[in-house]
Amino acid sequence: MKRLLYVFIVIALGMIGWGSALAQSPQTTTISETPENAKRVIAKGVGAIIGGDLAKAEDDAIANALKNAVEQTVGTMIQSDVLVKNYQVLESNIYSRTAGYIQSYRVLSKNEIGNNILEVTIEAVVKTGNLKDDLAALGIILQRKNYPRLMVLVDESNIDTHLPLGEVNLNTTETEIINTLQPRGFQFVDKAVVLQKAQRDALQAALEGDQAAAARIANSTGAEVLIVGKAISKAATNVPAVLKNAGLTSCQATINLRAIRGDDGNIIATVTKQAAAAHIDPIAGGTQALQKAAHLAAIALAEQIVEQWRKDIYSGATVQMRVLNIPSYVDLMHLKNWLLSTIRGVKSVSQREFSGGTALLDIQGTLNSEKLAGEISLKSQQSNGDFHLEILNVTANALVVKMVKKTTGEQ
């Protein structure tokens, strides 16, 4: 009897999920507000009036307008030159699946143009979260960021079982995060690398929130982003009677994750997710709860990471530059002014510290670190000053340079 009740619960939950999926199709109702992760768009579309069939022309015009709404939204996420280069990819994978990105729409107006064209204007709510995921899966944003590599380190406890820190095998949470993000185009560094190079105390410090330790681990393993966090599943105390009667244990999992850039230690994404699962075996139930929570956390974290990368590419990024061998503070001031007036794309230069002839600068602009390094190297050699800048190290978001006095022949 208990097993039959367990089967009934599973079937009921499945029916609820199926009903939710059916409820997500686009609706032609009045739009009262724009939901989170969505964008309101006004778009026009046209349809041909063939044999006086206005109904068919209207259907075609609305479909065209919805496609245009999605195209407009994509245009706000990706630069025009990238759109042109990747149009065929976008046409095949995004624009041809318009319905999946439209949450709702309404027709604002209809207008016959001559005797054979019907034009409609619609207001649509486009699901930007779905678009960001699919654009990331296409690799367009990842490609522009030179496919940054990720590493996942999560301290996990399942019911009363704690996987020891430094275990080579991936735990449930780490496995689910990788399995969720890899199909979306993310690349990963095997955590076995960090276990060979990093000390146990560095791993523990990173898991406890030490961003500098996390950055050191990422740098030592070749990962541009380190995902660290904690995951725990516990048996619930207040279990519904229907579950108890079925002999099931209700398990709840909580996962906290942070994504940390390896070169400067900055946190670019944080997420906390919870999930529950019921099972006859508490360990199996805890594992299922961890998998569910990890899947939700991975999707949310990926969206934040991709959004940060998108801003870096199209809205300007901050490159951290450490300058060594600065003769004096006056020379540092001259350097900051030179960067602003000479280097293409530099919008601002902020000084974070200066001590012992070394300065740390935040350079805000449109160039990534690689292009910025190229501009600085070339133009400092061509300048009339007494020093040029020698590039010592370049990572995804940071530079290390050294001021070198020019020889008589170079001046």
Q: CATH code at 398?
A: 3.30.1360
In terms of Cα–Cα distance, which of 319, 406, 405, 323 is closest to 367?
319
CA distance 373 to 387: 16
Residues with Cβ within 8 Å of 262's Cβ and at least 6 positions away in sequence, in order, are 214, 215, 217, 218, 219, 223, 224, 225, 226, 395, 396
- Tell me the two tokens of residue 330: 């006056």
Instruction: Looking at the structure, tell me whether residues 298 and 326 fall in a common domain.
Output: no
Instruction: Looking at the structure, tell me whether residues 321 and 309 fall in a common domain.
Output: no
Asked whether residue 196 carries a pLDDT value surpassing 70, the answer given is: no
Note the pLDDT tens digit of each residue in 7-51: 343 433 333 333 333 333 344 444 445 667 788 999 999 999 988
Note the pLDDT tens digit of each residue in 44-94: 999 999 888 888 889 899 999 999 999 898 888 776 766 777 777 777 667
In terms of Cα–Cα distance, which of 348, 276, 286 is closest to 159?
286
- Tell me the two tokens of residue 271: 């997420």
**Which of 314, 349, 365 delimits the end of a domain?**
314
Instruction: Looking at the structure, tell me whether residues 328 and 348 fall in a common domain.
Output: yes
- Scan for tokens 């079982």, then name that residue: 161
In the chain, the amino acid numbered 173 is T
Instruction: Looking at the structure, tell me whether residues 209 and 162 fall in a common domain.
Output: yes
**What is the helix (H) or strand (E) element at residue 398, kind and residue range?**
strand 398-405
Asked whether residue 310 carries a pLDDT value surpassing 90, the answer given is: no
Residue 169 pLDDT grade (very low, low, confident, very high; cuts 50, 70, 90): low
Asked whether residue 306 carries a pLDDT value surpassing 80, the answer given is: yes
Asked whether residue 96 carries a pLDDT value surpassing 80, the answer given is: no
Q: Which domain holds residue 84?
A: 2-138
Instruction: Looking at the structure, tell me whether residues 290 and 393 fall in a common domain.
Output: no
pTM comes to 0.61
Residue 315 pLDDT grade (very low, low, confident, very high; cuts 50, 70, 90): low
Residue 411 forms part of a structural domain: no
Instruction: Looking at the structure, tell me whether residues 196 and 102 fall in a common domain.
Output: no
Q: CATH code at 86?
A: 3.30.1660.40
Mean pLDDT rounded to a whole number for the chain = 80
CA distance 278 to 288: 8
- Tell me the two tokens of residue 283: 């360990």
Find the DSSP H helices in 94-210. 128-138, 140-144, 172-181, 192-197, 200-207
CA distance 93 to 97: 7
- Scan for tokens 């619930």, then name that residue: 236
Residue 128 forms part of a structural domain: yes
Residue 255 pLDDT grade (very low, low, confident, very high; cuts 50, 70, 90): very high
* Mean pLDDT confidence for 112-122: 93
Instruction: Looking at the structure, tell me whether residues 131 and 187 fall in a common domain.
Output: no
Residue 258 forms part of a structural domain: yes
Conformation bin of residue 265: beta by default, left when phi > 0, alpha when psi is -120 to 50: left
Per the structure, how many domains does the chain have? 3
Q: CATH code at 183?
A: 3.30.160.150
* Mean pLDDT confidence for 185-190: 86
CA distance 394 to 365: 16
Instruction: Looking at the structure, tell me whether residues 77 and 21 fall in a common domain.
Output: yes
Instruction: Looking at the structure, tell me whether residues 288 and 324 fall in a common domain.
Output: no
CA distance 259 to 225: 6
Instruction: Looking at the structure, tell me whether residues 128 and 224 fall in a common domain.
Output: no
CA distance 29 to 32: 9
Residue 410 forms part of a structural domain: no
The residue ranges of DSSP E strands in 67-171, in sequence order, are 102-113, 117-126, 149-158, 161-162
